[in-house]
Amino acid sequence: MSEDLTLNDIQHDMQGALLNPSECSDVFIHYVKPSARLSARAHLGIYQESYRMRLQQCMAVQFAALKYALGDELFQLFVDQYIQAYPSDSYSLNHLGQHFACFLEETRPDAKRPVRENWPDFMIELADFEFSLNRLFDLEADDEGDVATEADFDEQLKLLPVFALFQHQFPIMDYYQRYNNDERPELPFPKQSCSIVIRHRYRLGLFDLNFSQYRFLELLKKEGSIDQAKQAMQGLFGCEQSELDAMWLQWRKKWIALGFFRK
Amino acid sequence: MSIRAVLDQTQADMGLGLGLRSQHFNHIMQHKPDVDWFEIISENFMDSGGRPRHILRRIRADYPIVMHGVSLSIGSTDPLDAEYLTCLKALIDEVEPTWVSDHLCWTGVLSLNTHDLLPLPLSEECLLHVIERIDYVQEVIQRPLVLENPSTYLSFHQSTIPEWEFFTALIEKTGCKMLLDVNNVYVSAFNNDFDPVTYIKGLPHASIMQMHLAGHQCCGDYIIDTHDSQVTEAVWKLFNLAWHLTGGVSTSLEWDGNIPSFQVYHQELLKAKQFMQALPKDGLSKDCVLSNRALVSGVSVESPVVANPIDFVVSDIKSELVS
Indicate yes or no: CB of A8 within 8 angstroms of CB of B121.
no
Among the partner-chain residues A54, A199, A203, the one whose CB lies closest to the CB of B115 is: A54
Of the candidates B158, B154, B132, the residue with the CA atom closest to the CA atom of residue A5: B158
Q: Are A224 and A154 in contact (CB under 8 A)?
A: no
- Please give the Cα distance from B30 to B24 (Å, whole number): 10
Among the partner-chain residues A60, A88, A137, the one whose CB lies closest to the CB of B112 is: A88
Q: Residue B94 pLDDT more than 90? A: yes
**What is the per-residue pLDDT for A160?**
95
Q: Residue B298 pLDDT more than 50? A: no
- Sign of the Cα torsion A230, A231, A233, A234 reads positive
Residues of A in contact with B52 (CB under 8 A): 138
**What is the per-residue pLDDT for B10?**
53
Among the partner-chain residues B77, B111, B322, the one whose CB lies closest to the CB of A8 is: B77
The number of C-beta contacts closer than 8 angstroms across A and B is 191
B193: closest chain A residue by CA: A35
The domain A141-263 having CATH identifier 3.90.930: the answer here is yes
Indicate yes or no: CB of B322 within 8 angstroms of CB of A204.
yes
Residue B166 phi, psi (nearest 5) = -60, -45
Q: Are strands B208-214 and B250-254 parallel, antiparallel or unpaired?
A: parallel
**What is the per-residue pLDDT for B300?**
44
Q: Are strands B223-224 and B217-218 parallel, antiparallel or unpaired?
A: antiparallel
The pLDDT mean for chain B works out to 88
Q: Residue A150 pLDDT more than 60? A: yes
Q: Residue B100 pLDDT more than 50? A: yes
**Measured torsion, CA atoms of residues A175, A80, A91, A54, in degrees rounded to the nearest 10:** 90
Indicate yes or no: CB of A202 within 8 angstroms of CB of B108.
no
Among the partner-chain residues A1, A88, A140, the one whose CB lies closest to the CB of B49 is: A140
Indicate yes or no: CB of A46 within 8 angstroms of CB of B76.
no
Alpha helices in B80-219 (DSSP H): 82-95, 124-141, 163-174, 182-192, 196-201
Domain boundaries of chain A, sorted by first residue: 1-61, 63-138, 141-263
Of A236-240, B78-82, B118-122, the range with the lowest mean pLDDT is: A236-240
**What is the per-residue pLDDT for B282?**
61
ipTM: 0.90
Residues of B in contact with A1 (CB under 8 A): 157
Question: Closest approach of chain B CAs to the CA of A249, in angstroms?
Answer: 24
Q: Residue B72 pLDDT more than 50? A: yes
Indicate yes or no: CB of B112 within 8 angstroms of CB of A140.
no
Q: Residue A75 pLDDT more than 80? A: yes
Query: In this predicted model, what pLDDT tens digit does every residue of B145-202 receive, in sequence order?
Result: 999 999 999 999 999 999 999 999 999 999 999 999 999 999 999 999 999 999 999 9
- Bridge-partner residues for B66, per DSSP? B39
- Bridge-partner residues for B39, per DSSP? B19, B66
**What is the per-residue pLDDT for A116?**
86
**What is the per-residue pLDDT for A15?**
98
**What is the per-residue pLDDT for B13?**
85
B309: closest chain A residue by CA: A54
Query: In this predicted model, what pLDDT tens digit does every residue of B18-62 receive, in sequence order?
Result: 999 999 999 999 999 999 999 999 999 998 889 999 999 999 999
Indicate yes or no: CB of B315 within 8 angstroms of CB of A138.
yes
A93: closest chain B residue by CA: B314
B123: closest chain A residue by CA: A7
Q: Are B252 and B210 in contact (CB under 8 A)?
A: yes
Question: Closest approach of chain B CAs to the CA of A175, in angstroms?
Answer: 13
Q: Looking at residues A53-78, what average pLDDT do you find?
A: 96
Residues of B in contact with A93 (CB under 8 A): 43, 115, 310, 313-314
Among the partner-chain residues A37, A49, A96, the one whose CB lies closest to the CB of B304 is: A49
Indicate yes or no: CB of B114 within 8 angstroms of CB of A51.
yes
Domains annotated on chain B, with CATH: 3-318 (3.20.20.150)
- Please give the Cα distance from B258 to B291 (Å, whole number): 27
Indicate yes or no: CB of A138 within 8 angstroms of CB of B158.
no
**What is the per-residue pLDDT for A238?**
85
**Longest CA pairwise span in chain A (Å):** 85
pLDDT confidence of B292, banded at 50, 70, 90? very low
pLDDT confidence of A4, banded at 50, 70, 90? confident
- Sign of the Cα torsion B221, B224, B230, B232 reads positive
**What is the per-residue pLDDT for B188?**
96
**What is the per-residue pLDDT for A256?**
97
- Please give the Cα distance from B153 to A224 (Å, whole number): 57
Select the residue from B114, B218, B223 to test the A interface by mutation, using most A Cβ atoms within 10 A. Answer: B114
Among the partner-chain residues B111, B121, B306, the one whose CB lies closest to the CB of A89 is: B111
Residues of A in contact with B157 (CB under 8 A): 1, 30-33
Q: Are B50 and B71 in contact (CB under 8 A)?
A: no
A90: closest chain B residue by CA: B113
Residues of A in contact with B315 (CB under 8 A): 61, 94, 134, 137-138
Among the partner-chain residues B43, B50, B154, the one whose CB lies closest to the CB of A137 is: B50
Query: In this predicted model, what pLDDT tens digit does every residue of A47-65 receive, in sequence order?
Result: 999 999 999 999 999 999 9
Question: Closest approach of chain A CAs to the CA of B155, in angstroms?
Answer: 6
- Please give the Cα distance from B286 to B237 (Å, whole number): 11
Select the residue from B226, B317, B319, B320 to test the A interface by mutation, using most A Cβ atoms within 10 A. Answer: B317
Q: Residue B238 pLDDT more than 60? A: yes
Selected residue with higher pLDDT from B158 and B306: B158
Query: In this predicted model, what pLDDT tens digit does every residue of A158-208 receive, in sequence order?
Result: 999 999 999 999 999 999 999 999 999 999 999 999 999 999 999 999 999
- Please give the Cα distance from A91 to B113 (Å, whole number): 6
Question: Closest approach of chain A CAs to the CA of B73, in angstroms?
Answer: 9
Residues of B in contact with A94 (CB under 8 A): 47-48, 314-315
Residues of B in contact with A90 (CB under 8 A): 113
Among the partner-chain residues B112, B156, B316, the one whose CB lies closest to the CB of A10 is: B156
Indicate yes or no: CB of A43 within 8 angstroms of CB of B76.
no
**What is the per-residue pLDDT for B9?**
47
